[in-house]
Amino acid sequence: MHKIVFVTGNKGKFGEVKEILEAKDIEVIQNRDGYPELQEDDLEPIAAYGAKWASEKLGMPVMVDDSGLFIKALNGFPGPYSAFVEENLGNKKVLRLMEDEKDRSATFKSVIGYCEPGGEPEVFTGTVGGNISFEERGTGGFGYDPIFDYNGKTFGELGNEEKNKVSHRRRALDKFFEWLD
């Protein structure tokens, strides 16, 4: 049986990952110490570096999840700056930026970084396409979920179980499981 430390300060991410991993008989423990986040245009190098750094520091197999929302009409913004934008601007301001945009398409992306002490990091990427809604809807999930419309319902309206079947995070974790086996 695998036992993995998930380094994240995000309660929503941890809850989702725990549910998905436990169904696969993988034990996951949260560590909130964080890791140095590289300033990069994409998420893969950030997740790879974070996983390597934290596994060496903790001396255990570690996973991290660097994720973000890429909005087409905003040239991929907030992308790697998703955490900063969520904390400092919030969903209402993102909706304001999108006020006059007809093309509402957006991609959620999750990059799982995994590393064992002394090893090299692996990364697994999952994406899901949707549209930025015109208003916040739903109270489930976290972060950008209330403004990400997937087939007519926002991730905030879907509920955890449904979100976990189709989310970017789920798709990245499925690749991770395939590799782990």
Ligand X SMILES: O=P(O)(O)OP(=O)(O)OP(=O)(O)OC[C@H]1O[C@@H](n2cnc3c(O)ncnc32)[C@H](O)[C@@H]1O
Q: Which of 4, 52, 66, 176 binds ligand X (CB under 6 A)?
A: 66
One residue of 9, 59, 119, 129 binding ligand X per CB under 6 A: 9
For residue 66, indicate whether it is catalytic.
yes
* 106 strand-pairing partners: 71, 130
Secondary structure (DSSP) of the chain: --EEEEE-S-HHHHHHHHHHHHTTT-EEEEE-S-------SSSHHHHHHHHHHHHHHHTS-EEEEEEEEEEGGGTT-BGGGHHHHHHHT-HHHHHHHTTT-S--EEEEEEEEEEE-TTS--EEEEEEEEEEE-SS---SSSSTTGGGEEETTEEHHHH-HHHHHHH-HHHHHHHHHHHHH-
Q: What minimum distance in Å lies between the beta carbon of 148 and ligand X? A: 7
Indicate whether 83 belongs to the interface with Mg ion (CB under 5 A): yes
Which partner, Mg ion, ligand X, none, binds residue 144 by CB below 5 to 8 Å per kind? ligand X
Is 107 annotated to bind ligand?
no
Segment lying near ligand X (by CB under 6 A), choices 22-30, 81-89, 98-106, 119-127: 81-89
Whole-number Å distance between alpha carbons of 181 and 179: 6
Residue with the shortest CB distance to Mg ion: 83
Least Å from the CB of residue 34 to Mg ion: 8
Please report whether residue 149 would count as binding ligand X according to CB under 6 A: no
Rounded CA-CA distance 115/95 in Å is 37
Indicate whether 38 belongs to the interface with Mg ion (CB under 5 A).
no
Q: Shortest approach of ligand X to residue 65 CB, angstroms?
A: 6
Which residue in the set 144, 154, 171, 172 belongs to the binding site for ligand X (CB under 6 A)? 144
Binding residues for Mg(2+): 37, 66
Which residues would be at the binding site for Mg ion (CB under 5 A)?
83
Report, as residue numbers or ranges, the catalytic residues.
66
